[in-house]
Structure 1
Amino acid sequence: MTREYQSEAELEDQLMKRLNALGYQTIQLHDEKAVISHFRDVLNQRNRDRLKGKVLTDTEFIRALNELTGSKTIYQMAQLLRGSDYQPHGKIVITRDDNSELYLEFFDGINFENNTFEIAHQITVNAKYTNRYDVTILINGLPVVQIELKRRGVELPQAFNQIIRYRNESFRQLFRFIQIFVISNGEDTRYFANNDGKLNSNFMFYWTDQKNHWLNEINAFAASFFSRQRLHSLIARYTIFDSDEQRMLIMRPYQVYAVEKIIDRVQNHPGENGYIWHTTGSGKTITAFKASQLIARDTDAKKVIFLIDRSDLDTQTADNFNAYLPQIKTEGRALDRIDSTEMLVEQLQSKSNPLIVTTIQKLNYAIKNNQYKSLLTPYHDAKVVFIEDEAHRSQFGEMRKGINRWFKNAQHIGFTGTPIFAENVGQDGRTTETLYGECLHQYLIKDAIRDRNVLGFSMQYLNTIHGKDVFKDGDEMVSGIDKKEVMEADDRLKMIVQHILLNHGQITHNRHYNAILAVSSTRVALKYYNLFKKLDPEHQLHVTTIFTWKANEKDNEKKQDKKEALTSRHGLESVIKDYNQMFETNFSTEKFKDYFNDVSRRMKQFNYQTPENNIDVLIVVNMFLTGFDSPKLSTLYIDKKLQWHNLIQAFSRTNRIELDSKPFGNILAYRNMKQDTDDAVRLFSAGSSKSLFVPSYDELQKQFDDAVKDLRQISPTPQSVDSLHNLGKEALQKFVLAFREVLRVYNKIRVYDEFDFSKMINFTHQDLESYRSKYADVYQEIIDDPEDPASVLDDVDFEMELIAADTIDVGYIVNLIHAINLKDEDQRGQDTRRIKKMLVNAADPELKLKSDLLQAFLDEIVPKLKPEDNVGNALNQYLIRKREESVKEFSEQVHLPEEVIRKEMDDINFYGENANTKALNEALNANGLKFMEKRTVKNRVKMFVTKALKKFVLS
């Protein structure tokens, strides 16, 4: 048994021996030069037949390195490693010294045994700082996996922060080929993909067995994850390239196991169907895409058809597939969007397109239409594999039966997050199992929440109907009460709108996230929309609604006549007119698809820094409650009956992982739906619902009180944090950890209706803001430390996004300044004092830089402004004047003309750091300075200009 006090060195030695037992050879590589030299030897050895006895010369090897790395991004190098989909080999072509072309292969993506697997430890790289890497895995001499270890008992974020620091400081040349990072303290182990830009600790993944049991302990993890065949497959087969985001994705274990089960079913069990039960939000599209890709490439299937049931998802899925699959191109074009049945038939006939994305409606029409039947006859007996998304929804009707009759030898693989069981069966009585047969792999919502692949839920039931015996069970009314009249009463809907207007900011972290309001009908949607207009005439929140009037009204055609249907469309027309005015667009119900796409885009691209472009609350009936994924959606307001799969699907719109400032999905139910919720959760979590919901308010209240108590013991007041700076690293660490815990609990408890700072004991909102500012000061001091900026960052995960959720930034303050009421002296003073108070507690780094300047403007200029003056213009003029004063003062310090400083400022502002410094160089030469003196002054100028551009420019 491993000792609890096992040191990092002992852990490293243990892992090296484990990897040796798995077939990795240990090599001694002391530094970066040795790594490059070793790769050169391996490259020569792998290509000895192509080299024909003439190993690479120095110049040829430099050309090879340039082809491999050069100016490439990590994303581009990762693609180069894997080659194309149909030629999955890493290869480059260089020109030899005799001008002949030479093809060099450096990775075999098909057969893992055609690659060499090696390990090295304590490689030292001297860059900005000297760094030593714990364990490095090399394939064919290329470092592809970096493992960072911490002794048992140490928090994993330390290892994550160390990886980030190494990446920023010393991962260069061949080390930029690293594909996967693994971090472990012996007891807990995670992996994540390398990428360009900032890495997010929320996307560190667990590795599991096929039953979703964690393999956390380093020996269990290594035995499975670092099996040479498994590691090779993760790199060569189970990596996704998202060309839209320019990022590499390493698949999660349940996705890998599901794909392997599907491939096995297609290859070894022809004629047998199956389905994958992976919970909503777990990445089914990626899994389905990878399965489709590998079936098309590696099996004898004539066609792979990804079948979906909604035209909006047709476009979305085709776009996703093209983003994930830049290599699968046929005759120079990517996967086509199928806009018509005719296009579908063309693609079915094409021999060059193995993969098709279409809707069940288009395919059904094609096989029923006489003009296409003869063209599709060859598919009667051909092997066609259907990958069917949202199998809980679309595969139970006549269209599926017709497709089955036409494609006689087809295999159907269904994907669903919410299967149909006996409890939630539809009118036809068929379950997912009767339609598809065996469940090939499952990953339930409780698994996803446990793994933090999706968030849990905060559930609040809010009573909106007061009176004795109004409800009997759940949402059912007692006899004699008109349920529709009560539930749609103006007073009740008004009360709900008022609740949303009053609490939306608190629930969504000061409008950093958006929300959906789900209602029972199009008529109610329009009533809600008009109430928002009436009660929020200044558009404090941007609210709109969307529905398909034909579909929704057809469901109620017995109760609605033609006039009502027209009224519904006319109502939506009025909504879209308001929308056009709000966002400067030009939509109508005639352009409904364009309106839908724009609404979807704004919901997904929600950005709190540009509130004028956002939709805060989207009122829906059925749309957007399934199939819509956005990390920026945090809240679901419910005023309709939801049951079984429809309930889980709707809830799951809110629980996509984002930053730590989004700790869970918020569900606020304005109906008594607890029993329906409990039933659905029980069914789709296989009876275990405890992990789906966050703690109750009372439990969080105790956690918050305990966290505040711990903070007060370390720093009794915000001001006492200052003294911690003199006590050293350990004291600062304790403060950071304590206040971070306060923020974590606060981000959870603040969404509850019961939460009120005025009821808190010994902790006010002002205390929170003051501690928040000190927290930001500690962070800034550490990253500005010229000696050792990593000393505390390696040991403490600051999680700055916890303060960013409530951060008052420059744009917010400037908007408040513009809104100062100059016509009322008392109000002018109140507005000014309010803004100054916010500036004192500024936590946003950019705002802290401008804080003194803005406070001086409030003290010196605002009191002198006349009622008819424009505050914004006055602020701009003040900033220009202060910038000029600053330039004048600095020019005197460095003995340079003011116009030189101004030109340098203009050039850097326009061109960035690569701006032409000719004027500055000429001025420095004219001063007759020596080389080192010129360099010192030049650096001072650059620092001044960079800071001035941040300080004196508001945008």
Structure 2
Amino acid sequence: MFNEQTVTENGIIDRLKALSGVKWTYCHGENLPKQAQDIFVDEWLKDALCSLNPDIAKQPDYADEVIYKLRGVILESRHTGLVKANENFHEWLMAEKTLPFGENGDHITINLIDFDNLDNNHFVVSQQVHYIAATEVYFDIVLYVNGIPLVLGEVKTATRPSVTWQDGAADFMGGKKNYWKNVEPYFVPNLLCFASEGKTFAYGAINARVKDWGPWHNTAQAEDIVPGMGAVLNSSEGLLNPQTLLQLLESFALFSTIKTGKNSPPKRIKILPRYPQFEAAKQIVERVKKGYPRKGLIWHFQGSGKSLLMLYAARMLRADNDLKNPTVLVVVDRRDLDSQISETFGGADVKNLVKVQSCKKLGEHIEQDSRGILITTIFKFKDVEIDESNPKGLNDRDNIIVLVDEAHRTQEGSLGDKMRWALPNAHFYGLTGTPISGIDRNTFKLFGAEEDPGRYMNRYSYKQSIRDGATNPVKFEPRLAELRVDQDAINEEFERLAEEHDLDEEERAALSKRAGKLAVMLKAPKRMEAVSSDIAHHFTTHVMPKKMKGMVVVYDRDACVQMYYLLSKKLGFDAVEVVMNVDQAPIKSTEGDKKGKVNKDWRKWHDDLGLPVEKNDFERWQQIDGDDQLQKDLIESYKDPNQPLQLLIVTAKLLTGFDAPICYCMYLDKPLRDHTLLQAMCRTNRLYENDEVRKDMGLIIDYLGVFENLRTALAYNPDEIEGVVEGIEAFKELFPTQLDKCLAYFPGVDRTQEGFEGIMAAQECIPTNEKRDEFAQSFGVLAKLWSAINPDSFLAPFRADYKWLAQIYESARPVGQTGSLVWAALGPETIKMIHEHTDINRIRDDIEELVMDEHAIFTLTDKEQEQRAKRLEIDLMGRLRGHADPKFIELGERLEKLRQDYESGVIKAIDWLKGLLDAAKETVKAERDTGDAVVTEEDNKQALTKLFIETRPETTPKLIGDVVEQIDKIVKATRFPGWQESNSGPREIQKALIVTLAQFGLGKDKELFNKAYAYIEGHY
């Protein structure tokens, strides 16, 4: 007969009895040497105490005292609660308690378990274990270690289709049995509980909700796992073997304090790792102890718990005596990630934890050889100065381990370079859910060891994560907002504007290029009104009834402000808030406001919507952005289902490192792709469960057709990545030759000479535009090679020459400020004109949706892989500096083309990608074939020449001509009436002037700046 005992229960026990190595001894519950009211098997526990503690062996009565103390911890649970009592008992299991059993009453450490030699412990598996407390129960499976019941399992029949592992887990959590409440004392010593119905297997810590239970597999099992007794037995063997259980007990069982609501008291919880965290943390420690390779890439899907993984690895590294008191440096690249990591580590009461507050403090910690766990952002390395003559950096210890969260973006640039110089012998481990595999930005190259197949040490894919229930599937629902652009009206209005202000062809091109960007259309008031109405309706009908919350992602900070007022008017001001970076806000302060905090666009939206100005919203957003505690309080309000805040509006902040499980729906109105798209969408994939609701899926409402990019963002080809990384060795061979080719343009120039004279000498070697173009093209190739190889130590001997060439290149290329100055004068008028002639046809909800779950397939065809390779080639050898004659493209045509691209992105994304590749190839050729026409006015040049001769009498005419040429462009662009009275005009002109002078080594000459600025003002 098939039932839960004959199939599931006996099957698991038989597998455990048959394990190789350290084995479980079997003893049926009826034969256990204990009474029904006993929790421990005293006989076995006393034997272990004597064998593991010599002082107790000398006086066996001491063992009874220890057992008495342990029973006291169990009795305390009625006052402290189960989790706290379990934590207190855990301290005894971890040999953190002492008693005065030594000579002369000295305190000795009490060992309950031998973690170093497993053979010294007594492992017993039992079934149908009888226990009587407030109620009478029979536990299906109990695993005893030295007489202590560390593991309990509940199993169900495998032959009833309606029964799942959750029915077994429910015996612990609720229902009639409700073990954690009704027989609470038995679980005070507990490590974990497991449940199975003979087809699937899951485990959880005490008091875990259903969402916190998980399966136990291994990350090598990338494909689907077929439910059945075979899978259950494999999971049982993997998790319940003595080695794994004692590793979990010693290094992975955590107790952490979490907030359950803004006004609710903190809650203590027990945390156990999921198997990818267990695997990867152990791999890091093993590799560090081995000493080679000194790096590794952990590629785990977003939301699967990388913060906890780092916490486990850091604790294990710090606890390992073989590593001789190491330093663990946890590095993140965003403030919100920094906050998330700090809260994860801080909540778990990690010892010797330091959150580094400044660049200076980071340098001090490194140089002063601080030990412990340091948490910092990558940006705190910006003040590090690389000294190639000092190979020891700031600290050359080999027991410094760097764990880098979201291992991309900033790691490829100078900050990552500085970090690696500062810590030359450190171990570097990158953790990411979204690796980048381009030539000049490559996570695999930076952190992937050659010894690792596929260049990653451990991988946990989105399919595995969703299959295991570690994250939720995400559904994309396209709701394309179709635009209608009145091309003829825009052309006519633009012509009038250009003629009225006497714009030449170059200025027209600059203005049309800025105005023709997608942002201008996306923020058209009629479109924003339509999208906000759709969001408000969808949110109130689909999200609020689920008692969950949402995020709105818009194009930029100006769009954040606009969307805030639109949604607040519809949903209420308490329901909506903005979180954005306002350090360099694009919305300027009004005249007469001494604090510079009141924003005129903020005022404008208040007035346009007829809202009363009761408070300064912009000032509040600045405060939220600048104060970590205010931002934390805001996020806690958002996470709390009882608080009125329902929607967060963002553009860049909170798209990474923001973990709010209550976030069910993201309204996406910003073009995202690749790793940025994946990171953003995963804000909705976190598991969420409370007494009223459980989230089974995240939702993305897509107003731009962004979801079509998901296919290529998730596609991964190990051969392609390996090819890109291997190609870097070939780049090393090319680099010295290309460097020599660039240096050959400057024969006899003293590269140690600084300032104006040094730049002047170099520029004399490239006196014509043709010569400068040749140098710029050569340096462009060199720069791409440098980016591809960096931060390899191979580049160290070439650093000084490369830096010098980069400075010369900057001094030789045009400043290109004309466009921004024209924009400062006429941009607002142009935008207004476009908005007046841009309308919205409808919001489409008839496009097929896409669900990203464990069954979704995202692969690239051979042809698409071939085109990826072509794109990489273009990226390496392509344009770095353009030389096309300025050509005015009618603004209406540009906008119409953008509209078509924008809509076809939903329908034919792959065709669009192919067209882009062809266009990129043609653009590169065209840019190389054309020259650069310079517009100057002789009168202005003569006047400016006199100024420079007066200031620098020894300057040669050639370089004067170069400086004059750039400042003349500034003069020409300032001839619009009213620039001096505008908010941005003087600042834009001063910025252009500073950039120009700095390129010629004259940036620190205040007298020269003042005279040049006075000259420019004189031409108003």
Q: Which residue of 1 aligns with 2:200?
A: 188
Unaligned runs of 5+ in 1: 330-334, 471-476, 697-955
Q: Which residue of 2 aligns with 1:650?
A: 680
Matches within 5 A, 1:390-401: 390-401=406-417
CA distance in 2, matches of 1:479, 1:607: 39
Q: Which residue of 1 aligns with 2:706?
A: 673
SS at match of 1:676: helix
Q: Which residue of 2 aligns with 1:75?
A: 83
Q: 1:35 deviation in Å?
A: 4.5
Q: Which residue of 2 aligns with 1:277?
A: 299
CA distance in 2, matches of 1:466, 1:571: 24
Q: Which residue of 1 aligns with 2:538?
A: 503
Q: 1:215 deviation in Å?
A: 8.7
Q: How many residues were matched structurally?
A: 659
Q: 1:676 deviation in Å?
A: 1.6
CA distance in 1, matches of 2:639, 2:418: 45
Q: Is the 8 A contact 1:517 1:639 kept in 2?
A: yes
Does residue 146 in structure 1 map to residue 152 in structure 2?
yes
Judged with a 3 Å threshold, the aligned counterparts in structure 2 of structure 1 residues 34 and 671 are, in CA distance, closer, same or farther, namely closer
CA distance in 2, matches of 1:616, 1:685: 41
SS at match of 1:635: strand
Q: Is the 8 A contact 2:599 2:618 kept in 1?
A: no
Amino acid in the other structure paired with 1:667: I
Which residue, out of 364, 377, 392, partners 1:359? 377
Judged with a 3 Å threshold, the aligned counterparts in structure 2 of structure 1 residues 48 and 267 are, in CA distance, closer, same or farther, namely closer
Matches within 5 A, 1:160-199: 160-164=169-173, 165-168=177-180, 170-195=182-207, 199=208
Does residue 318 in structure 1 map to residue 342 in structure 2?
yes
Q: Is the 8 A contact 2:113 2:146 kept in 1?
A: yes
Does residue 254 in structure 1 map to residue 293 in structure 2?
no
Residue by residue, what CA displacement relative to the aligned partner does 1:421-449 show, whole Å, maximum 9, x if unpaired? 23xx6xx3544335543310011112111
Which residue, out of 603, 607, 613, partners 2:635? 603
Q: Is the 8 A contact 2:83 2:268 kept in 1?
A: yes
Judged with a 3 Å threshold, the aligned counterparts in structure 2 of structure 1 residues 574 and 684 are, in CA distance, closer, same or farther, namely farther
Higher relative contact order (CA 8 A, sep 6+): 2
Judged with a 3 Å threshold, the aligned counterparts in structure 2 of structure 1 residues 61 and 412 are, in CA distance, closer, same or farther, namely closer
CA distance in 1, matches of 2:313, 2:180: 35
SS at match of 2:688: coil
Does residue 45 in structure 1 map to residue 50 in structure 2?
yes
Q: Which residue of 2 aligns with 1:827?
A: none
CA distance in 1, matches of 2:677, 2:546: 25
Q: Percent identity?
A: 19
Q: Which residue of 1 aligns with 2:361?
A: 343
Q: 1:115 deviation in Å?
A: 2.3
Judged with a 3 Å threshold, the aligned counterparts in structure 2 of structure 1 residues 695 and 11 are, in CA distance, closer, same or farther, namely closer
Which residue, out of 300, 311, 315, partners 2:323? 300
SS at match of 1:653: helix
SS at match of 1:138: strand
CA distance in 1, matches of 2:552, 2:62: 67
Does residue 405 in structure 1 map to residue 434 in structure 2?
no
Matches within 5 A, 1:623-702: 623-659=653-689, 661-683=694-716, 692-693=852-853
Judged with a 3 Å threshold, the aligned counterparts in structure 2 of structure 1 residues 463 and 222 are, in CA distance, closer, same or farther, namely closer
CA distance in 1, matches of 2:312, 2:143: 26
Provide the alpha-carbon RMSD of the alignment: 4.4
Q: 1:128 deviation in Å?
A: 3.4
Matches within 5 A, 1:99-248: 104-153=110-159, 154-164=163-173, 165-168=177-180, 170-195=182-207, 199-212=208-221, 214=225, 217-244=231-258, 245-248=267-270
Q: Which residue of 2 aligns with 1:717?
A: none
Does residue 15 in structure 1 map to residue 12 in structure 2?
yes
Q: 1:681 deviation in Å?
A: 3.5
CA distance in 1, matches of 2:613, 2:276: 46
CA distance in 1, matches of 2:118, 2:226: 23
CA distance in 2, matches of 1:359, 1:576: 37
Q: Which residue of 2 aligns with 1:389?
A: 405
Residue by residue, what CA displacement relative to the aligned partner does 1:505-548 show, whole Å, maximum 9, x if unpaired? 22224372221111111122222223234445x54x62122322
Q: Which residue of 2 aligns with 1:620?
A: 650
Matches within 5 A, 1:376-525: 379-380=395-396, 382-422=398-438, 428-434=440-446, 436-437=448-449, 438-465=455-482, 483-510=518-545, 512-525=547-560
Amino acid in the other structure paired with 1:151: T
Q: Is the 8 A contact 1:150 1:185 kept in 2?
A: yes
Question: Taking structure 1 as the reference length, what is the TM-score of the superposition?
Answer: 0.62
Residue by residue, what CA displacement relative to the aligned partner does 1:730-784 show, whole Å, maximum 9, x if unpaired? xxxxxxxxxxxxxxxxxxxxxxxxxxxxxxxxxxxxxxxxxxxxxxxxxxxxxxx
CA distance in 2, matches of 1:548, 1:515: 20
SS at match of 2:297: strand
CA distance in 2, matches of 1:525, 1:380: 46
Q: Is the 8 A contact 1:80 1:90 kept in 2?
A: no
CA distance in 1, matches of 2:284, 2:363: 26
Q: 1:67 deviation in Å?
A: 4.6
Amino acid in the other structure paired with 1:313: L
Q: Is the 8 A contact 1:387 1:414 kept in 2?
A: yes
Amino acid in the other structure paired with 2:712: D
Residue by residue, what CA displacement relative to the aligned partner does 1:551-586 show, whole Å, maximum 9, x if unpaired? 5759xx9xxx9x9x9799665699999999999999
CA distance in 2, matches of 1:231, 1:386: 28
SS at match of 1:419: coil
Residue by residue, what CA displacement relative to the aligned partner does 1:776-821 show, whole Å, maximum 9, x if unpaired? xxxxxxxxxxxxxxxxxxxxxxxxxxxxxxxxxxxxxxxxxxxxxx
Residue by residue, what CA displacement relative to the aligned partner does 1:668-703 show, whole Å, maximum 9, x if unpaired? 11112242233223359999x98725999xxxxxxx
Higher alpha-carbon deviation: 375-384 or 517-526: 375-384
Residue by residue, what CA displacement relative to the aligned partner does 1:332-353 show, whole Å, maximum 9, x if unpaired? xxx2222223432443355663
Q: 1:644 deviation in Å?
A: 0.7
Judged with a 3 Å threshold, the aligned counterparts in structure 2 of structure 1 residues 377 and 317 are, in CA distance, closer, same or farther, namely same
Unaligned runs of 5+ in 2: 259-266, 450-454, 488-511, 721-848, 857-1020
CA distance in 2, matches of 1:89, 1:576: 64
CA distance in 1, matches of 2:517, 2:376: 44
Judged with a 3 Å threshold, the aligned counterparts in structure 2 of structure 1 residues 590 and 34 are, in CA distance, closer, same or farther, namely closer
Amino acid in the other structure paired with 1:300: L
Q: Is the 8 A contact 1:505 1:511 kept in 2?
A: no
CA distance in 1, matches of 2:615, 2:74: 44
Judged with a 3 Å threshold, the aligned counterparts in structure 2 of structure 1 residues 350 and 243 are, in CA distance, closer, same or farther, namely farther
Residue by residue, what CA displacement relative to the aligned partner does 1:363-398 show, whole Å, maximum 9, x if unpaired? 34245699xx99996613544221111102321111
Amino acid in the other structure paired with 2:332: I
Q: Greater CA radius of gyration, 1 or 2?
A: 2
Amino acid in the other structure paired with 1:387: L
Judged with a 3 Å threshold, the aligned counterparts in structure 2 of structure 1 residues 93 and 677 are, in CA distance, closer, same or farther, namely same
CA distance in 2, matches of 1:410, 1:580: 58
Higher alpha-carbon deviation: 8-17 or 219-228: 8-17
Q: Is the 8 A contact 1:519 1:525 kept in 2?
A: yes
Q: Which residue of 2 aligns with 1:526?
A: 561
Q: 1:410 deviation in Å?
A: 1.9
Q: 1:122 deviation in Å?
A: 1.3
Q: 1:141 deviation in Å?
A: 0.8
Q: Which residue of 2 aligns with 1:794?
A: none
SS at match of 2:715: helix
Amino acid in the other structure paired with 1:310: R
CA distance in 2, matches of 1:622, 1:388: 20
CA distance in 1, matches of 2:237, 2:562: 60
Amino acid in the other structure paired with 1:207: W
SS at match of 2:401: strand
Judged with a 3 Å threshold, the aligned counterparts in structure 2 of structure 1 residues 606 and 318 are, in CA distance, closer, same or farther, namely closer
Does residue 288 in structure 1 map to residue 293 in structure 2?
no
